[in-house]
Amino acid sequence: MTTGDKRYFLDVRQSARGLAWEHRLDPRGENVALAIAQSHGIPEIVARVLAGRGVGQDDAERFLLPTIRDLLPDPATLTDMDKAAGRIADAVRRGEKVAVFGDYDVDGAASSAMMKRFLAHYGVEAEIYIPDRIFEGYGPNPAAMRELARRGASLIVTVDCGTNSAEAIEAANAAGADVVVLDHHQVGGELPPAVATVNPNREDDLSGQGHLCAAGVVFLALVQTVKHLRQGGTAKAPPALLGMLDLVALGTVCDVVPLVGVNRAFVVKGLLAARRMETPGLAALARVSRIGEPLNPYHLGFMIGPRINAGGRIGNAALGSNLLAGDDPVEAASIAETLDRLNTERQDMEMVMLAEARAEADAELMAGEGPAVLVTASERWHPGIVGLIASRLKDHARRPAFAIAFDPNGRGTGSGRSIPGFDLGKLVREAVAEGLLVKGGGHAMAAGITVERAMLGRLRAFFEERAAAAVMRLRDAESLKIDAALSAEGAGLALLDALETAGPYGSGHPTPVLALPRHRLADARVVGNGHVKAELRSQTGARIEAIAFRAAETDLGTFLFNSRGNTLHVAGTLAANHWNGNRRVQLRIQDAAGA
């Protein structure tokens, strides 16, 4: 049904989650989908998925079969890339000692490991340095850079950081080390005095590759370095760079960058490389994660990635990069087991922190509409986990959210997550300019802050003043976009496999959301850590297993429990459930509504 500019799917105007359901495709898009299906002989649902993500009739075949050869940009189009590659090539030819300074997240770990593997291939000694999240914070700091130079590094390559670290890079230069920056974060001021600063998000970079994560930037830098080495007459054959695409895919998925352009090829081809299990660290992580099926983006983002991040959050920040850079399977198994244990500890800590944060947030929300930006804080929280708490709060309250861990001196380390359409990084930079934060930065969807407790009240008021109108407008307009309708009879493995050809799905290329109209909810019960397992049956009696993750204590969970035996409209995504050697289709429930 259409009302004004909205086309309601199944006439759902307010679901269990308080959302309207809308057709993802407008009438023009439906015509494009029909043309794709007819001209390429693919299922109509897959054609609708492609059209709903901006793929045209002429682009469909190339989109379904992405290749590195077709999509890899010329690395030299990135500003300063030739300077960076030339300096790294010089270090290889001269056998210099190189230090790789990386971030403590997955993208930083993958990027650091790639650079070390590349240099090791040429016999160049390289040291990876990952700062401690708590004591050093994000990015290069002067003391660390001076120490790396003192230990003999004549070249320091920063990966996934460095763009906004002018002071630290000046310190490295003063200590006798050159610096090359390979980064992708937004630029917050003057560029640093590095030999080269390669960052597709520089204002003077016209490459159009701002969607790359750091691992993608590093891969391009390695491609260009090989070119410089060949031109310089280096005799040794280059490493098999395509074999590193497993690490590029890992960084691309875990850093949640848009899966467009070459990023899509990175993930498609990187997953093929990852499934060969040729990188001992990735293979060891897959084993401790108990992944019993071919690796897919979900495994990278939600099973392997969190284990690598656990080292940076509550353990040794360098564990992940050392694991991915190493070639010893025995050592890899030991590090992977340590990261698995740390991840379990992190999950336990997160559960306690989340309960406290939810209680604080709900107290504010129950008083009315609540603040436009949630700000929760505690002296009992671990600063390495606040980003996870902010993300959960954002999902729970459908508005930007911050979680802040205060130390005994009243200084807080916080992390924020935003909703689509609201630039949280811009808000944080404005708060810094107003003197409300010690420091802060980020991008549209995530930000980090340092704040004094005495300023917390003023910060909340500032957020409310600057964000209320925009956030509430976005919340009012929020809807669930539905790609197509489906029945339990049609939800088979053949359809799932067909949909996967239009993947991988993620940021900028969302997983298809399908609606099952008028299915009876035969069962709904709590399983695991607050998940709701359900069984749906069509009008003809066909059944499909379903699950709503972490929904037990949400409005969606309450609706499902109260609707047992009723006929509902249910929306979600299809996934494969592997159990005891069998592969079955499962619906991952995102929302439901009365039929």
Q: Is 379 helix (H, G, I), strand (E, B) or coil?
A: coil
Alpha-carbon distance of 490 to 384, in angstroms, equals 44
pLDDT at position 504 is 92
Q: List CB contacts of 29: < 8 A, sequence separation 6 or more.
A: 51, 52
Alpha-carbon distance of 256 to 200, in angstroms, equals 16
**What is the four-CA torsion angle of 236, 237, 239, 240, rounded to 10 degrees?**
-170
- Which tokens go with 558? 């309450």
pLDDT at position 361 is 92
Which region holds residue 391: left if phi is over 0, alpha if psi is between -120 and 50, else beta?
A: alpha
Alpha-carbon distance of 170 to 191, in angstroms, equals 11
SS (H, E, C) 205-258: CCCCCCCCCHHHHHHHHHHHHHHHHHHCCCCCCCCCHHHHHHHHHHHHHHCCCC
Q: What one-character DSSP code corresponds to residue 304?
A: I
Containing 390, the helix (H) or strand (E) segment is helix 386-397
* C-alpha 498, offset from chain centre: 24
Alpha-carbon distance of 567 to 243, in angstroms, equals 50
pLDDT at position 171 is 98
- Which tokens go with 276? 């060969």
- Which tokens go with 517? 């109209």
- According to DSSP, the residues that pair with 452 across neighbouring strands are 411
Q: Is 385 helix (H, G, I), strand (E, B) or coil?
A: coil
Residue 311 main-chain phi, psi, to 5 deg: -65, -45
Whether the pTM exceeds 0.75: the reply is yes
Residue 292 main-chain phi, psi, to 5 deg: -105, 30
pLDDT at position 9 is 97
- Which tokens go with 122? 């040429």
- According to DSSP, the residues that pair with 289 across neighbouring strands are none
- According to DSSP, the residues that pair with 479 across neighbouring strands are 20
Domains of the chain (ranges; CATH) run 2-52+483-594 (2.40.50.460), 70-341 (3.90.1640.30), 369-479 (3.10.310.30)
Weakly modelled stretches of the chain, pLDDT under 50: none
Peptide bond into 420 cis (omega under 30): no
pLDDT at position 252 is 97
- According to DSSP, the residues that pair with 423 across neighbouring strands are none
Cβ–Cβ < 8 Å for 476, 453: no
- According to DSSP, the residues that pair with 101 across neighbouring strands are 129, 158
Which region holds residue 182: left if phi is over 0, alpha if psi is between -120 and 50, else beta?
A: beta
CA proximity to 312, closest of 453, 529, 112: 112
Alpha-carbon distance of 534 to 547, in angstroms, equals 6
How far, in Å, are 366, 524, 546 from residue 562 at the CA level? 22, 9, 16
Residues in the chain, overall count: 595
Cβ–Cβ < 8 Å for 218, 231: no
pLDDT at position 512 is 97
Q: What one-character DSSP code corresponds to residue 506?
A: B
Angle, in degrees to the nearest 10, between helices 386-397 and 329-365: 40
- Which tokens go with 482? 């539905």
Alpha-carbon distance of 213 to 225, in angstroms, equals 19
pLDDT at position 275 is 96
Q: What is the pLDDT of residues 192-213, one digit of tens each?
A: 999 999 999 999 999 999 999 9
Q: What is the pLDDT of residues 240-288, one digit of tens each?
A: 999 999 999 999 999 989 999 999 999 999 999 999 999 999 999 999 9
Tokens 């050869």 belong to residue: 69
CA proximity to 120, closest of 104, 98, 102, 94: 98
Which region holds residue 283: left if phi is over 0, alpha if psi is between -120 and 50, else beta?
A: alpha
Alpha-carbon distance of 526 to 512, in angstroms, equals 25
Q: List CB contacts of 277: < 8 A, sequence separation 6 or more.
A: 283, 286
Cβ–Cβ < 8 Å for 100, 126: yes
pLDDT at position 367 is 65
CA proximity to 573, closest of 510, 498, 529: 510
Q: Is the dihedral of CA 113, 118, 122, 127 positive or negative?
A: negative
- Which tokens go with 405? 């861990």
Cβ–Cβ < 8 Å for 158, 165: yes
Alpha-carbon distance of 55 to 140, in angstroms, equals 40
- Which tokens go with 567? 């006929």
% of the chain at pLDDT higher than 90 = 86
